[in-house]
Amino acid sequence: MIDVRQLPTPDEPEEALAAVVALRRAADLLERRAVRAALKQGWSWAKIAQALGISKQAAHKRLSDINAQDNPP
Amino acid sequence: MLSGIKTRLSNVRTIKTLCESAENYALQDQQRQAGAEHFLLAAIDLPDNTARLAFREVGADAAGSRDAVGAQYREALRSVGVNAGEHISGGLIPEPLQAAAGLYEAAPSGAEVMKELAANRNDHRPLLGAHVVAIVAAMEQGVAARALRCMGVDPAGLKAAANKFSRTSNRHTGPMGA
């Protein structure tokens, strides 16, 4: 859980913007791992899209290269 | 004239190697487009060795650049109270994306590197890793700049060192000594 009291204040833009970049990247990594796990468990793209709050087409376009058989470290 | 043509052909080959290597680093980094940090890592890998020499000149080991990219992500996440594990916050992890088909496209910071290289192409006799290092070291913000700070590298000093080795190498052919 992110403690909002620890968030950089707006007068620290350098630190705040660096955090934004790192959070986006971490979110992308987490998304790919979660989608891979979902596919392994037999989830449909429609169900994955619904869980992510995006359209099935958008989910498929962005994440269809994920292979359920891949075994990341 | 003939040497000029040879240099230009050599530079084209170097650009190709640089772009392919940067893209490879980006894919390993879970990103489809190469940023300045990926071009920096690719420059360090170039066989001319001038990028490594520039780092050594400022007392840093270029081999630590890859870890520094991951370290700056972890540091940024910690600043917002996220203590993510290495598998989420690490810089370059062995879970690469697949290269997309189509035209080569760099991230904005990577495109800035390419634009600067193109603008200064007449000074590249030949194009070297040190030229790329000088461009990246001049960037004040972004992942590459933060990674250099994580390494304790003074960007101005690194830029000066890179300029020195790129000028020196104009008088040499082949890889410079390690």
The ipTM value here is 0.79
Chain B positions in Cβ-Cβ contact with residue A14 (cut-off 8 Å) = 141
* Contact yes or no for A65 and B97 at CB 8 A: yes
pLDDT, greater one: A7 or B103: B103
- Quote the minimal CA–CA distance from A59 to chain B in Å: 16
Residue of B70, B59, B40, B53 lying closest to B154 (CA atoms): B59
What would the mean pLDDT of B9-31 be, rounded to a whole number?
Answer: 93
Question: What span, in angstroms and rounded, lies between the C-alpha atoms of B19 and B39?
Answer: 7
**Chain B closest CA to A65's CA: distance in Å?**
7
Partner B, chain A 14-33, Cβ-Cβ below 8 Å:
14-15, 17-19, 21-23, 25-26, 28-30, 32
The span from the CA of B37 to the CA of B146, in Å, is 10
Q: What value does the mean pLDDT of chain B take?
A: 88
Closest-approach residue (CA) in chain A for B144: A18
pLDDT computed for residue B1 by the predictor? 66
For residue A71, the chain B residue with the least C-alpha distance is B95
Q: How far apart are CA B14 and CA B19, in angstroms?
A: 9
Q: Does residue B91 contact residue B70 with C-beta atoms inside 8 Å?
A: yes
Residue of chain A with shortest Cα separation from B78: A19
Q: How far is CA B50 from the centre of its chain?
A: 12
**Average pLDDT of the segment spanning B138-148:** 97
**Model confidence pLDDT, tens digit, residues B81-135:** 888 665 555 544 546 777 777 778 899 999 999 999 999 988 888 999 999 999 9
Non-local (6+) Cβ contacts of A73 within 8 A are B87, B93, B94, B95
Q: What is the pLDDT of residue B94?
A: 47
> Cis link prior to B126 (omega < 30° from 0)?
yes
What residue ranges do the domains of chain A occupy?
Answer: 13-63
What is the share, in percent, of chain B residues with pLDDT greater than 70?
87
Residue A60 has pLDDT above 70, yes or no: yes
DSSP one-letter string for chain A: ---GGGSPPTT-HHHHHHHHHHHHHHHHHHHHHHHHHHHHTT--HHHHHHHHTS-HHHHHHHHTT--TT----
Which CATH code for domain B2-92+104-169? 1.10.1780.10
Mean pLDDT of B61-71: 94
The whole-number pLDDT of residue A67 equals: 77
CA distance A37 to chain B (A): 14
